[in-house]
Amino acid sequence: MSILQEKSAVSQLPPSIKELIKVLYGGKRFGNHVDEVWPNLYIGDMSVANDRYSLWKLGITHVVNAAHGRMYCQGSHDFYGSTVDYYGVPADDSPSFDLSCYFFPSAEYIQKALDSTAGKSRVLVHCAVGVSRSATLVLAYLMIHHHYTLLEAINKVKEHRWIFPNRGFLKQLCALEMKLRKLIHYVVG
């Protein structure tokens, strides 16, 4: 890709929220309790997150709880013990909740976990149902560390799991995409 093509790509806007919702509605519309959506990266719901035996069977070494402190999502270092590292994000599944302030810290946590122990780490990102908050953090991770556009990240995750971030989170992910594009434009241009 030439520099001109890269600059042109940077100036394009991400899809609209309406277009993203249409993509999200496509395909299967049911989910499992947990799915591997990227090598050694899983999205799940509270039932799997609260089942230490299931986590052990999956080989989960790290847990990101995107509903930390919320009812039925009371995970903590004490709950998981010394075999699982825990990272809590106290997010509400509300379009007005600013989840974007957790995009970079969560993405860094996931990347460091996946890079650790010679590729033997497995990360579960969960919330109550495993379709909005947790999916949003995984999409942000793919955009930040694997340079996917939002649409590419959605399509990649949807190959393995039904997800549906709320409209507010989609807007925040669009803003992240524009921020990342400007960063690429700054580095390239």
Say how far apart CA 80 and CA 84 lie, in whole Å: 6
Furthest-apart CA atoms within the chain: distance in Å = 53
Helix (H) or strand (E) segment spanning residue 135: helix 133-146
Q: Give the number of other CB atoms < 10 A from CB of residue 82.
A: 6
**DSSP codes joined into one string, 95-125:** TTS--GGGHHHHHHHHHHHHHSGGGT--EEE
Catalogue the active-site residues: 127
Task: Output the six-digit token pair for 150.
Answer: 């939002």
